[in-house]
Amino acid sequence: MPLTPTTRVLLTGAGAQLAGAIRTRLDGHCALTAVTRRECDVTSAADMARVTRDVRPEVVINCASYNDVDRAESEPEAALAANGLALGVLADAATREDAVLLHYSTDFVFDPAVDPGPLREDAPISPRSIYAQSKLLGEILAKRAPKHYVLRVASLFGGSRAKSSLDRLAAAIRRGETVKAFANRTVTPSYVPDLADAAATLLARDVPYGLYHCVNSGHGTWVDVARALAVESGVDPDRAVTPVPFDPAAFPARRPTYAALSNAALAAHGVTMPLWRDAIARYVRTLPA
C-alpha cells in the first residue's frame, strides 16, 4: 500500500536504532505514531489494544526487541516474551485493524556448518542461541497476520541512535586505536537509513507479503568491514586493524560463523539495496570530524 500523508502508521520500539532511521525516513510522508516500550509494551495485549484503538493503524512497523544476545542466555523468559510471544500480540492487533505488519528478524537464525554462499530465505535454519530461537518464534507468530512482512536484517549500523558493534568499531578506529576484528566471521552489514528506505519502497510497491532478507548487498568478514572503515576514515588499515580468529565458544551465546544473506528476493520485486562498502562510505561521511 503506497504511503500517503494520511496513511496511519504505528511504529513500536521507537527508541531502537533502526526505529530512529525509520522515523526520519517516514516523517512527513505518513501519519506516523511512534511509541516507546514505556508508552506501549508489545508483550501486553491490553497495551496493544489501547494503542491500536487510538491510532487505528493501517501499517504496524515493529522495532521492539530484546537485543542483548548474551544476556538472553540467562534471561530466556524476557527474550522469548519480547522477541517471540509479542509477535502473537502484534499479529492479532494488526489482524483486527486489517493492517500490514512489518517485523524485523535476524541473521542469527542461521548457522551453516560450511560456507554455502549468501543465504536465501529458504536456506536451512539453525538457531543456536536463546536470542536466535526467540527471533525465530517471532517470525512464526508474525505470519499469523494475513498482511505481513518479516524482514531479516544483520549487523546494523548508523543512524542518529548509532550504538551497534560496527558503530563502536568505527569510533575506536577514528580515535586512533588499533582494533581487533574477526578474520573468519562473514556478515552482511546493514546501514539503517538504507533499511528504512527499503521499508518505504517495499510498502509503496505492494511487494507480495512474506519473508525477505533486507541487508546491504555483498558480504565480507569483520576484518573487511574494519579495514573499509579505516580507509574511509583516512586511517592506515594495516595499522588500525588486527585480524583475530572467531571462536563461537568464546561467547555465552552462540553466534553464526557464516551469516551472509542474499537480498535477491527483494531485488526481484524492485527493492534494491546498495553495496555495503558504499554504505560504509556514506556512513563515515556523516560522522563528526
Is-catalytic flag, 149? no
* Residue 67 grid cell: 537485543
Per-residue pLDDT band at 283 (split at 50, 70, 90): very high
In a domain, 259, yes or no: yes
Query: What pLDDT is stored for residue 152 in this prediction?
Result: 98
Residue 265 sits at the vertex; the CA angle it makes with 264 and 268, to the nearest 5 degrees, is 85
* pLDDT > 90? residue 160: no
- Over residues 6-18, the mean pLDDT reads 97
Query: What pLDDT is stored for residue 191 in this prediction?
Result: 98
In a domain, 235, yes or no: no
Q: What is the Cα 23 distance to its own chain's centre?
A: 15
* pLDDT > 90? residue 2: no
In a domain, 229, yes or no: no
Q: What is the pLDDT of residues 174-207, one digit of tens each?
A: 999 999 999 999 999 999 999 999 999 999 998 9
- How many domains are there within the chain? 1
Q: What is the pLDDT of residues 89-141, one digit of tens each?
A: 999 999 999 999 999 999 999 999 889 999 999 999 999 999 999 999 999 99
In a domain, 207, yes or no: yes
Q: Which CATH number fits the domain that encloses residue 87?
A: 3.40.50.720
Give me the residues paired with residue 60 across strands: 10, 101
Which domain does 265 fall in, by range? 8-223+246-286
Instruction: Please answer whether residues 211 and 176 qualify as being in contact, where contact means their C-beta atoms are separated by less than 8 angstroms.
Output: no
Instruction: Please answer whether residues 210 and 102 qualify as being in contact, where contact means their C-beta atoms are separated by less than 8 angstroms.
Output: no
In a domain, 30, yes or no: yes
| Number of other CB atoms surrounding residue 64 within 10 Å | 26
Give the whole-angstrom CA distance, residue 240 versus residue 259.
Answer: 24
Q: Which of 104, 131, 191, 258 is catalytic?
A: 131
In a domain, 251, yes or no: yes
Instruction: Please answer whether residues 142 and 150 qualify as being in contact, where contact means their C-beta atoms are separated by less than 8 angstroms.
Output: yes
- Over residues 212-216, the mean pLDDT reads 98
Instruction: Please answer whether residues 42 and 12 qualify as being in contact, where contact means their C-beta atoms are separated by less than 8 angstroms.
Output: yes
In a domain, 265, yes or no: yes
In a domain, 21, yes or no: yes
Q: CA dist 193 to 43, 60, 66, 162, 278, Å?
A: 27, 19, 21, 11, 13
Alpha helices in 217-270 (DSSP H): 222-232, 237-240, 264-268
Query: What pLDDT is stored for residue 162 in this prediction?
Result: 85
Instruction: Please answer whether residues 31 and 232 qualify as being in contact, where contact means their C-beta atoms are separated by less than 8 angstroms.
Output: no
Q: What is the pLDDT of residues 253-265, one digit of tens each?
A: 999 999 999 999 9
Alpha helices in 153-191 (DSSP H): 165-174
Per-residue pLDDT band at 85 (split at 50, 70, 90): very high
- Over residues 61-85, the mean pLDDT reads 98
Query: What pLDDT is stored for residue 254 in this prediction?
Result: 94
Instruction: Please answer whether residues 58 and 147 qualify as being in contact, where contact means their C-beta atoms are separated by less than 8 angstroms.
Output: no
What average pLDDT does the chain have?
96
Residue with cell 586505536: 177
Q: Provide, for the chain, the percentages of residues in helix, strand and coil under a 3-state DSSP scheme, each rounded to the nearest 5.
A: 40, 20, 40
Instruction: Please answer whether residues 190 and 154 qualify as being in contact, where contact means their C-beta atoms are separated by less than 8 angstroms.
Output: yes
Per-residue pLDDT band at 21 (split at 50, 70, 90): very high
| High-pLDDT (> 90) share of the chain, % | 95
* pLDDT > 80? residue 289: no
Is the pTM for the entire model greater than 0.85? yes
* pLDDT > 90? residue 216: yes
Give me the residues paired with residue 126 across strands: none
